[in-house]
Amino acid sequence: MELKLDPWGAVHVDDYTKLFEVFGISSFDDILLKLKEPHPYMAHKIIFGHRNYDSVLRAMHRSEPFAVMSGFMPSGRAHFGHMMVMNEIIWHQQQGGDAFAAIADMEAHAVRGISWEKCRSLGINEYLLSLIALGFEPKEGSHIYFQSENYKMRNLAFELGREANFSEVSAIYGFSGETHISHMESVMAQSADILHPQLEEFGGPKPVVIPVGADQDPHIKLTRDLAYRMRKFLVEQRKDYISIRGKAASPQLMQAAELALKETGLGRVKRYEEHIDVTEIQDRSGLLSGAILEVIDRLIIKLENEHGHYGFIPPASIYHRFMTGLTGGKMSSSKPESHIALTEDPQEAGKKIMRAITGGRQSLAEQKKLGGEPEKCSIYEFLVFHLSQDDKELLELDAQCRLGRRMCGTCKKDVAERIERFLREHQQAREAAKERLPEFGIKAL
């Protein structure tokens, strides 16, 4: 069966290695080795893949500007699956990044037909309060916003629309003649969400990472393409030289690029009618060839920006595994029994855990004989994803389950107690977050 990622459908990916082969997503394993204190999602390989995260990592290590951006469509209750994205945003903010969190009310209104009033209510009461309660801070350079109220983003969406055509967007998202225009416009709004942290008002071009589930990759790929199209130059490595090709650069911009490149002293600069080549490259600073390419690209980006153009850096992305729903399959907002909401009554949440499908066998005798399958267990996933950061504990639970020495009822009871405790504490923090909404420029309902 053909593997297809649908940002609005119910996608369950059983073999994540296919995403490396079919969609060109890179494994996160090499990145993990470069992180001194990775987020638990990274350490537990819940974050399994990325696109161009190296650029964010370099900025992080050099204390250079970078940002993290993601959004939430207010179509239902926020659950533990959404909390993964919230935690990834917060972690990058704590590493020094500007943090942008969008409530995608335009998408919810266009795609799900949810009223503006309900979008706002769900956006604040379900998502923003939890985001703040988990640790999002009103630091300089960080922003929480509703799509419908962010006119810088909406103006950028209009500009991006000039670089995308109907046939292309239809091929990516499966749009047909029955798809309404607002749905298509919401796609441009999401691309603008991703790119607008690089606008001059927010410090200009910089690496930006988007933490998402793999089903959102179509948005990432389209936005990366649009970022390239908005550029005036394309910087490429050619055998033993670097070529700066003017896609739509004016003669004045070409001349400015030539002068700026000569000032670097990196090599011999020769300008042609539509491109500039840097040959006989002098590695005077111990840079590797890839780093020299990045230095030249950032120089050209800065130049484009100074001359009134966008100069976007294609956004990076990280991809996390989907949480298994309590009823099997993907955890989904539209299936209340499949998830535990962050606003769920703690006791009701505990009861859901006790009813959940596990990786256990059909009978107690079979469980003792064959052992369980924790890799198929939604209960064990709650521990790995959210409720335990003790690797020794997780390894021991995994082993005891596989050996048939730990029964599902014991695990369920333990996880139910942890879930109830977490929710009580989180909901108390949400109450405190209500008083902090004005700090983020949000008016309470």
pLDDT in tens, the chain (445 residues): 344 433 333 334 456 666 666 678 898 988 999 998 999 999 888 898 999 999 999 999 999 999 999 999 999 999 999 999 999 999 999 999 999 999 999 999 999 999 999 999 999 999 999 999 999 999 999 999 999 999 999 999 999 999 998 888 888 888 887 888 898 888 899 999 999 999 999 999 999 999 998 888 888 999 999 999 999 999 998 888 899 999 888 999 999 999 999 998 888 999 998 999 999 887 655 445 567 888 899 999 999 999 999 999 999 999 998 888 888 777 777 777 889 999 999 999 999 999 988 766 676 777 777 777 887 788 888 888 899 888 888 888 888 888 888 888 889 999 999 999 999 999 999 999 999 999 999 987 7
H/E segment holding residue 101: strand 98-103
Q: Give me the residue spans of the domains in the chain.
A: 17-230+313-320, 233-306, 344-440
Alpha helices (runs of H) in 128-234, residue ranges in sequence order: 129-134, 151-161, 166-173, 181-195, 217-229
Residue 309 DSSP SS3: coil
The pair phi, psi for residue 90, each rounded to 5°, is -65, -40
The pair phi, psi for residue 146, each rounded to 5°, is -95, 135
Output the pLDDT for position 68. 98
State the Cα–Cα distance between residues 39 and 55, nearest whole angstrom: 18
Q: Which residues contact 90 (CB under 8 A, 6 or more apart)?
A: 99, 131, 134, 135, 136
Specify the CATH number of the domain 17-230+313-320: 3.40.50.620
- Dig out the tokens for 236 from the structure: 């490429």
For 344-440, the fitting CATH number among 1.10.10.10, 1.10.240.10, 3.60.15.10, 3.30.2020.30 is 1.10.240.10
State the Cα–Cα distance between residues 277 and 244, nearest whole angstrom: 6
State the Cα–Cα distance between residues 436 and 78, nearest whole angstrom: 19
H/E segment holding residue 213: strand 208-213
Strand order in the sheet with 26-27: 26-27, 47-51, 316-320, 208-213, 67-72, 98-103, 143-146
Longest dimension (CA), the chain: 80
Spatial contact of 200 and 306, defined as CB atoms under 8 Å apart = no
State the Cα–Cα distance between residues 16 and 393, nearest whole angstrom: 26
116's torsion region: left (phi>0), alpha (psi -120 to 50) or beta? alpha
Specify the CATH number of the domain 233-306: 3.30.1360
Could you give the angle at the alpha carbon of 109 between the alpha carbons of 128 and 186, nearest 5°?
A: 95
What residues does 246 pair with on adjacent strands? 233
- Dig out the tokens for 131 from the structure: 């985001």
Angle between helices 217-229 and 166-173 (to 10 degrees): 160
